[in-house]
Structure 1
Amino acid sequence: MRKWLPLFAACLGTLMLLIDVTIVNVALPDMSADLGTGLSGLQWIVDCYALALAALLLALGSLADRVGAKQVYLAGLALFAIASLICGIADNAPVLVAARIFQGVGGAAMFATTLSLLHATYTGRDRGVAFGTWGAVSGAAAGIGVVLGGVLTDLLSWRWIFFVNLPIAAVTIVLSAMVFPASQRHPGRDVDVPGMLAFTLAAAGVTFGIIRGGEHGWGDGGALLALAAGVAAVVIFAMIESRVAAPMFPLSLLRNRTLGATLLSASGQTFAAFATMPLLSLWLQQQLHMTPLNAGLAMLPMAATAFLVAGLTGRVLHDARPEWTIGAGLIVVGAGSGLLTLIGTGSSWVAMVPGFVVIGAGIGVNAPALVSTGMAAVSPQQGGTAAGAVNTARQLGLALGVAVLGTVFRDVAGDAGRMPLSDFVSGLDAAVTVAAAVGLTLGVAAFALFRRARVDVPAAIPADAVLID
């Protein structure tokens, strides 16, 4: 039994960081009332965590190679715990957003290292069991997050969605320090700090500009300045990556049509499937007056369907080409988002179920193939970078999706306070329509790119594939 303690430590940390992607969704109405913040503040509470994960995942993976995965994992756990405490005691939205950013930094450190630790700890058949278990736990995180968030918010308060991390982090830190072997270090490897900073500025600038433009109008100077800075940072990032000796993301990989299609689909999946969750949570609680727990349970069918479909179709689709798993799966996700337009002024939560079931089915087909296909498209030496890039694209798609859909909602309905139900539903309808359009458009584009690439089907999911949503 002792041999599985490292797996338990890795799964515990991973579950904690991934739950925090979704656990805040059902607590948003209570946060809004308690902290006196509107839709833009709520968008940042969700977005800043995903942005930090997206911006730092690749860079912290490089840092872990240099100083040791175990050290980076333990540091990430400690930072995550401290940031969670600050989140829980925050008395205003800016403090909470700042603490969520540091949560994201800690989460990125953990996310970038767990698979390396498992790879170094287990061999042979045990390694396969470890990665399979880790993948199952990761896949279940989204569903656990919405339910756990509802339970804690309902029975205690929204602050406990952060306080609950403290004992979990403490146990994980002690256990990880004891059971993981010392990590191999490669001190000669450089960390692409300029690239990391430019990528972070690009992602944050564009996201801030979209949110502020939706709140203050597209002629607002702050919004225009942020968007300009974001675009400039993209250009600077490209220049840095083309010149540094050890780039965070070699731009030559973008010429790989298969990897490009995979990144496109990864970002489109989270945009189309998950970026509507904050708005749907507000609809369930502010308009339908559901409790946080009941709202969390109402949002569970998507994750449950994804888990079931992935389990039932995994072997059948194992040899399918990526256009039929990744591309077609994203098209199904987009179609499911379109079904959310069935929500009307007289609807109950049941109106979400058809859309959630179809979205979950698309995720169940799409998600298991994303990382394995991306890694199979590049050389073995670049497999880790490809896997990190796919997961970066997922988090970036979520962050941009929340920003864009929140802006679309506000343009149609106004802020998400106590507005008339008809206005809220009109804004929600506009947002899910955009989500559907993104999913369908990027799904068709990915399908076409995979068909043209004629990529070989991966013989097996690589041992260090990251199978999460």
Structure 2
Amino acid sequence: MGTGTGMRKWGPLVAVSLGVFMLLTDVSIVIVALPDIGAGLGMDFDGLQWVLDGYALALAALLLGLGAAADRVGRRRVYTAGLVVFALASLGCGLAPDGGTLVAARIVQAGGGAAMFATAMALLNLAYQGRDKAVAFGVWGAVSGAAAAVGPVAGGLLTEYLGWRSIFLVNLPVAVVAVVLARRTLPESRDPGAGRLDLPGAVAFTLAAGAAVLVLIRGGADGWTSPAVLGAAAVAVAALTAFLLIERRAAHPLLDLALFRRPAFTGVLLCGAVYSAAAFSYLPYTSLWLQSVLGRGPMAAGLTLLPMSVTAFLVSAVAGRRLAGLPTAVPLAGGLAVIGLGGLLQTGLDASSGWAALLPGLALTGLGVGAVSPVLAAAAMAAVPPERGGMAGGALNTFRQLGQALGIAVFGLVLHRGLRSALTGHPDAVADPAATAHALSAGRPQPGLPEDLLRTAFATALDHTLLTAATTALVGAALVALLLRPRPVPATAEPVPTAARTPARR
């Protein structure tokens, strides 16, 4: 096969994989750069949380709406526009003069990422047939898994040797190549039967998700009864209520609420949210401990997190097809349980603990991630009628990103409270534990703070955070097992084929 023929054949796969790799890498590439970003832009703990949460939240809020819009205006057009927006926003992140600009650019960046994520599977599905389609989706899945492994290491390498701004600027040449390939190789497609875009539903969902995260982030800092927090809570409740009412009455809803009557669908979405929260949302705070307390550089911190990503990738690649042949509850609920055990194995930190104390737990967590990852998307598709497959895939990606956004906010609150409590109860207690805890949470050790107090307080707080993440995974595993348990088939109904209950790996 000539080079030209190969490029024509696999050009669509390369174009889509480059975009998805960028947007998924940018979820995790920031993790080890947070201390440098905070120091460089003078950002506090809340601001650093929004650097992560703004991206994850915008991805979650925009996926369903942009997927529906792409069906109407053209999937290649939306994907290419997403690449351009992502590149321009990455430039804005790399040149940001202050924290507010960085957060705003991250939100815009996620909007471009959502346009790519919402259209990637549909573009591949149209571009390939038969065995080539299986190969394309297999490569796409491997690239998605590799992004999680590469993110922290690439972020550490770039931050340590080129500065934190380089983690965003590196996207520019990749985006240019992806745009050229997309325009040359991707076929255009639309859904001629697509109905009217559910814009009110998209706006209501975005408001509800954003306000809920704002409550969690600001509640710990301003107090749960402060006017700003109570106002945000009221907006979240009102917007969620409006979303539910709109979706019930919409002729073409973003999310068909009737699907939640299917326990399997609800169980898969719950698994997606808990999986993202419990496995990944505590890692930014682990990175802060590694760098701000143990003194490891960004590169060393990224390498410390590598056992989880490598184990997940290997398990997914080697055992993914066998896992997909089991009843869905086994890899999903079982994987969450292993993630919970991995979190528990990371607990027990104290002032004398070093980075190696995390490695066994991170590797075990990776084992659980590798069990869940290759099965999740196919399980979502199999849980709904075929004509709702696209909606199910979009809903799963939305719940995964929403779970990560909420997890970052909740675990950040736990870390901050743990720091404040440890600083208050220590024999060398500081004069203002709340302010010191806020500074330590942002990766800024305070001058004159005793080394023993710093190590004890942060280890205790991170221990609480890890325990919360582990508990979330274990409780989620029990609920997912309950929702996905086999149910008796009514006597009047035909038996459901095994393939429909336990889908093969895509």
Q: TM-score, normalised by structure 1?
A: 0.96
Aligned to 1:132: 138
Is 1:425 aligned to 2:452, yes or no? no
Contact 2:339–2:364 at 8 Å: present in 1 too?
A: yes
Aligned partners of 2:300 and 2:146: how far apart in 1?
Answer: 19
2:135 aligned counterpart, secondary structure: helix
Q: In structure 2, which of residues 331, 343, 349 is the aligned counterpart of residue 343 of structure 1?
A: 349
Q: Matched residue of 2:57: which SS?
A: helix
Closer/same/farther in 2, CA of residues 153 and 457 from structure 1, 3 Å limit:
farther
The residue number in structure 2 matching 1:98 is: 104
Aligned to 1:380: 386
- Name 2:481's counterpart in structure 1: 447
1:461 to partner: Cα distance: 4.9
User: Which whole-Å deviations, capped at 9, do the CAs of 1:3-50 have from their partners, x for residues lacking one?
Assistant: 111111111111011000000001000001011112111110000111
| Structure 1 residue 202: Cα displacement | 0.7
Contact 1:372–1:458 (CA under 8 A) maintained in structure 2 = no
Q: Secondary structure at the match of 1:189?
A: coil
Deviations 1:140-172 (A, max 9, x none): 101111111111101111001000011111111
2:148 aligns to what?
Answer: 142
Deviation for aligned residue 1:457: 5.0
Equivalent-residue separation in structure 2 for 1:373 and 1:253 (angstroms): 14
Cα 1:329–1:188 shift into 2, 3 Å: closer
Report the Cα distance in structure 2 between the residues aligned to 1:233 and 1:292, rounded to whole angstroms. 40
Question: What's the secondary structure of 2:484's corresponding residue?
Answer: helix
Q: Percent identity?
A: 47
Instruction: State the distance in 2 between where 1:406 and 1:13 align.
Output: 29
Deviation at 1:226, TM superposition (A): 0.8
- CA distance in 2 between counterparts of 1:82 and 1:375 reads 33
The residue type paired with residue 321 of structure 1 is P
Query: Could you list the per-position Cα deviations for residues 86-114 of structure 1 after superposition, in whole angstroms to 9, with x for gaps in the alignment?
Result: 10111111111110000110000000111
1:32-91 Cα offsets, whole Å, 9 max, x none, are: 101111211111000011111111111111111101100000110010011101101111
* Whole-angstrom CA distance in 1 between matches of 2:340 and 2:209: 24
Q: Structure 1 pair 6/196, CA: closer, same or farther in 2 (3 Å)?
A: same
Q: Distance in 2 between matches of 1:276 and 1:284?
A: 13
Structure 1 residue corresponding to 2:308, chosen from 291, 297, 302: 302
Check the 8 A contact 1:59/1:192 in 2, yes or no.
Answer: yes
Contact 1:210 1:227 in 2 (8 A): no
Matched residues in 1 for 2:270 and 2:193: separation? 33
Equivalent residue number for residue 45 of structure 1: 51
The letter for the 2-side match of 1:418 is: P
What is the root-mean-square deviation of aligned Cα atoms in Å? 1.5
Residue 322 of structure 2 corresponds to residue 311 of structure 1: no
SS at match of 1:321: coil
- Partner amino acid for 2:255? F
Separation in 1, partners of 2:69, 2:260:
23
> Counterparts of 1:456 and 1:286 in 2: how far apart (Å)?
54
In structure 1, what is the equivalent of residue 427 of structure 2? Answer: none
Give the match for residue 450 of structure 2: none
- Aligned match of 1:260: 266
CA distance in 2, matches of 1:99, 1:80: 9
Partner of 1:156: 162
Q: What secondary structure does 1:367 align onto?
A: helix
Does residue 355 (structure 1) correspond to residue 389 (structure 2)? The answer is no
Cα distance per residue 1:383-419 (max 9 Å; x no partner): 1111111111110000000000001111121221316
Confirm whether residue 288 of structure 1 aligns to residue 322 of structure 2. no
Tell me how far 1:342 sits from its aligned partner.
Answer: 3.0
Q: Secondary structure of 1:451's match?
A: coil
Q: How many residues align?
A: 464
CA contact (8 A) 2:346 2:361 kept: yes
CA contact (8 A) 2:377 2:396 kept: yes
Q: Secondary structure at the match of 1:113?
A: helix
Q: Which has the larger radius of gyration?
A: 2
Who is 1:33 aligned against? 39
SS in 1 for 2:325: coil
CA contact (8 A) 2:53 2:405 kept: yes
CA distance in 2, matches of 1:308, 1:144: 14
Using the TM superposition, name which of 23-32 and 123-132 deviates more.
Answer: 123-132
Q: Is the Cα contact below 8 Å between 1:257 and 1:453 reproduced in 2?
A: no
Distance of aligned partners of 1:57 and 1:240 in 2 relative to their CA distance in 1, 3 Å threshold: same
Contact residue 269 and residue 330 of structure 1 kept, 8 A: yes
**Matched letter for residue 162 of structure 1:** F
Amino acid of the structure 2 residue aligned with 1:251: L
In the TM superposition, what are the counterparts of 1:136-285 in structure 2 within 5 Å? Answer: 136-186=142-192, 188-285=194-291
> Please, which of 417, 425, 430 is the counterpart of residue 411 of structure 1?
417
Equivalent position to 1:370, from 372, 376, 380: 376
TM-score by length of 2: 0.89
Instruction: Report the Cα distance in structure 2 between the residues aligned to 1:193 and 1:187, rounded to whole angstroms.
Output: 18
**SS of 2:55's equivalent?**
helix
Distance 1:396 1:268 in 2: 10
**Counterpart of 2:297 in structure 1: which amino acid?**
T
Q: Deviations over 1:304-336 (max 9, x none)?
A: 011111223223323211221101111111111
**Post-superposition CA distance 1:270-302 (Å, at most 9, x none):** 111101011011011111111111111111111
Which one-letter code corresponds to 2:445 in the other structure?
R
CA contact (8 A) 2:273 2:401 kept: yes
Q: After superposition, what is the alpha-carbon deviation per residue over 1:187-207, rounded to whole angstroms, capped at 9, x for unaligned?
A: 752211111111111110010
3-state DSSP of counterpart to 2:322: coil
Aligned in 2, Cα 1:298/1:248: closer, same or farther, shift over 3 Å? same
